[in-house]
Amino acid sequence: MYIPADKTRNLTPYQPIEGNYRIRLDANESFLLPTDDDRQAMAQAAAEVAFNRYPDPYASELCADFAKLYGISPEYVTAGNGSDELISIIYYAMLEKGEKVLTLTPDFSMYSFYSSIAETVCVNLDKGADMEIDVDTVLKTIEREKIRMVIFSNPCNPTSLGLRAEEVRRLILGTDALVVVDEAYMDFWDQTIIREAHHYDNLILLRTCSKALGMAALRIGFAVANPAITKILRAAKSPYNVNAVSQAMASVVLKNPLYKSVYNDIIITSRDMLINGLKRLESEGLVEKVYNSRTNFAFVKLDDADGVFNSLADRGIAVRKIGENHLRITAGREEENREVLCAISSYLRMKKGEGYENRCIFAKD
């Protein structure tokens, strides 16, 4: 009788939110599509792909477009089928079985998920009540636990908080462990270390096209590291990991600076609107805490996160519940933000015994 391997027997397949929601604010995607002109150009580029041939294994044009947009050299860049794939490649390429990985909780769930498949040992360091990363504690834990790799998102999903570049540098320089900094949301903040990433011998920086750049469907991510690490990542990945259609389509978007500038500002404006609305509820004592977002989503602490989550779901609005007391809400279009704010506000007012609002404070004038 065949018995499956211990390390994977109890894994469960990833569960995206199911059901028919009118408003999807659960996955931190961009609410903007590429322009009509660019969508046309993408369709054209896809139509011209040599479908009978394997794609460029190094996605050279795509990496060059990415590098140019961010002001770095393409020799430090490896493309992946989403940064998710790059995370799994890092686990099996950079670590031996049984070696220790440090994650800081709460953080992106995929970091600990890949640990078991790669047969590494995942050590979780709790961020504490303020949810901030304390570099000294991280460095001490690395030392004490003999950690070989530390991985975290900056700014963080789900806390929305950011660690300043100076502190990230102090962490990288303070250890011989490999430091993986996932900058999936760094387009929304100005503390990137992407331009200096190749100077460190122990850093892999991750970027994605799935958030600010609005291409989650294409599955494109990038790793930026020094030439020695880049060589390992390129050698360890499967040869044709990024398909030719995605390469061609994403190149169109990366060649247009509009998305990293104007679109980004539109998303940040939406984020600020959502955060300001939630802060208003915080000042009224309806919401416990609104965290200082450096991302395209809000992270809020609520006494009754379950109740709010369910009442939003009843109204066809999907958000993410994190742990017992927190919700993560992606910034959406203006009407979507108004709707989610009104829904949260009226549920919490009703619960407090204030009855239905005649008119939501967040409704358009």
- Minimum distance from residue 155 beta carbon to ligand PLP (Å): 9
Question: Minimum CB separation from ligand PLP for residue 156, in Å?
Answer: 8
Q: Which residue among 78, 153, 264, 337 contacts ligand PLP (CB under 6 A)?
A: 153
Q: Does 155 bind ligand PLP (CB under 6 A)?
A: no
* Smallest distance, ligand PLP to C-beta of residue 118, A: 17
> Least distance (Å) from ligand PLP to the CB of residue 86?
8
User: Contact 282/297 with Cβ under 8 angstroms?
Assistant: no
Does the footprint of ligand PLP cover residue 108 (CB under 6 A)?
A: yes
Interaction of residue 210 with ligand PLP, rule CB under 6 A: yes
Instruction: Give the footprint of ligand PLP on residues 169-188 (CB under 6 A).
Output: 182, 184
Using the minimum distance from each CB to ligand PLP, give the nearer residue, 107 or 339.
107
The residue within the footprint of ligand PLP, chosen from 88, 192, 208, 251 (CB under 6 A), is 208
Token couple for 238: 């499967």
Q: Which of 157, 247, 251, 337 binds ligand PLP (CB under 6 A)?
A: 157
Write the binding mask 17 to 36 for ligand PLP: x where contact by CB under 6 A, - elsewhere: -----------x--------
CA distances from 291 to 88, 129, 298, 319 (A): 30, 12, 7, 16
Rule CB under 6 A: is residue 214 a binding residue for ligand PLP?
no
Q: Residue 299 or 362: which CB sits closer to ligand PLP?
A: 299
Select from 47-55, 88-96, 196-204, 208-216 the region that touches ligand PLP (CB under 6 A). Answer: 208-216
Cβ at position 65, least distance to ligand PLP in Å:
16
Q: What angle do CA 59, 258, 84 make, to 5 degrees?
A: 40
Structure tokens at 304: 């009754």
103 binds ligand PLP (CB under 6 A): no
Query: Backbone phi, then psi, for 203, in 5-degree steps?
Result: -125, 135
DSSP 8-state assignment for residue 131: -
Question: What is the C-alpha separation between 320 and 299, in angstroms, rounded?
Answer: 10
Q: Which of these segments, 49-57, 94-102, 209-217, 267-275, binds ligand PLP (CB under 6 A)? A: 209-217
Q: Which residue is nearest to ligand PLP (CB)?
A: 82
Size of interface with ligand PLP, in residues (CB under 6 A): 14
Side-by-side strand order, sheet with 326-330:
289-290, 297-301, 326-330, 320-322
Cα–Cα distance, 271 to 90 (Å, whole number): 31
- Of 101 and 348, CB closest to ligand PLP: 101
Distance CA 290, CA 295 (A): 13
List Cβ neighbours of 286 (8 Å cut-off, separation of 6 or more).
344, 345, 348, 349, 352
The number of residues in the chain equals: 365
d(CA 269, CA 296): 9
Asked if 216 touches ligand PLP (CB under 6 A), the answer is: yes
Rounded CA-CA distance 317/328 in Å is 12
Pairing of strands 203-208, 100-105: unpaired
Supply the minimum distance, in Å, between the C-beta of residue 363 and ligand PLP: 31
User: Per CB under 6 A, does 84 bind ligand PLP?
Assistant: yes
Question: Which residues make Cβ contacts (< 8 Å) with residue 250, sequence separation at least 6?
Answer: 62, 65, 209, 215, 218, 220
Q: 107 near 295, Cβ under 8 Å?
A: no
Q: Which residues bind ligand PLP (CB under 6 A)?
A: 28, 82-84, 108, 153, 157, 182, 184, 208, 210-211, 216, 221
